[in-house]
Amino acid sequence: MNNQLTTLKLKDELDVVKTLENIWKEYFAENQNPVPPLFQEELVKNAVTYLSLNPSFPSKRQNEPLKESYPLIDFRGKESYPFYKKFFDIGLEISEPWTVLDLFYIRESKQEELDKKFNTKSISDQDKQFLLNQMQLTFKIIMELNPKVVVISNVLSGKLIHKFHKELNLTMELPNNENGWIYRINGIPYITKESSYLGSRFLINNIDRRKILVAEIKRVLAFTQKH
């Protein structure tokens, strides 16, 4: 990275590998060969930060050796995987450094499966703790990143954060006139409504929705830079 950008190395600075190992050992105590977690090794600090749901697990790759981490997604390059195209497209319009991380580290390509297993109305105590442990790690990472704004790019991510914010000891500040009508968690600006379309494969190429999101990102950045 150049001198103007600072990154957070999750393996070296936060010992994420050990944390995830402990979470997986606790949850998969009776499974000797669970699918390992997956995380990005390096993230950009002080950037527009997109918070997705979880890494995918394509069925055609299930018999291949599984990596537990992958290199930095560099916003200055080209997308190496179609999933990131939406972030590159927005990045061209906001002209700001950006980075992406997941709320969870469990791999699943079908969100319906996660919805079924971790339905908050019928979730078991074991499953709930598994989710909370991962979310606690993610919010620790977010605090270290000190993002300019967090853009929640999956509706389920937003719902689960709201559902479990008390257990996670998150301080939520609702939008109001004094704070520039900006939703904040632990003092960090978050965008949820305008970015909800990002998790839909049917709406992802909707130019009008992207314009609305870009405008909101720029508005939040402009307000927070002045206050």
How high is the pLDDT of residue 1?
Answer: 43
Amino acid at 8: L
Say which CATH architecture domain 7-226 belongs to: 3-Layer(aba) Sandwich (3.40)
Angle between helix 85-94 and helix 207-226 axes, rounded to 10 deg: 50
Whether pLDDT at 66 is above 80: no
How high is the pLDDT of residue 78?
Answer: 74
- The pLDDT of 145-152, averaged and rounded, is 98
How high is the pLDDT of residue 205?
Answer: 83
Q: What is the mean pLDDT of the chain?
A: 90
Angle between helix 155-163 and helix 125-145 axes, rounded to 10 deg: 100
Q: What is the DSSP letter of 68?
A: S
Whether pLDDT at 58 is above 70: no
- The two most distant CA atoms of the chain are separated, in Å, by 54
How high is the pLDDT of residue 120?
Answer: 72
Range scoring the smallest mean pLDDT among 19-28, 106-115, 130-139: 106-115
Give me the percent of the chain exceeding a pLDDT of 70: 94
Whether pLDDT at 222 is above 70: yes
- The pLDDT of 211-222, averaged and rounded, is 97
Q: State how far the Cα of 62 lies from the Cα of 180, in Å rounded to an integer.
A: 46
Of the two residues 57 and 91, the one the predictor is more confident about is 91
Whether pLDDT at 2 is above 50: no
Domain parsing of the chain, residue ranges: 7-226
How high is the pLDDT of residue 109?
Answer: 73
How high is the pLDDT of residue 158?
Answer: 93
Angle between helix 125-145 and helix 16-27 axes, rounded to 10 deg: 170
79-98: pLDDT as tens digits: 677 889 999 999 999 999 99
Whether pLDDT at 32 is above 50: yes
Q: State how far the Cα of 190 lies from the Cα of 102, in Å rounded to an integer.
A: 15
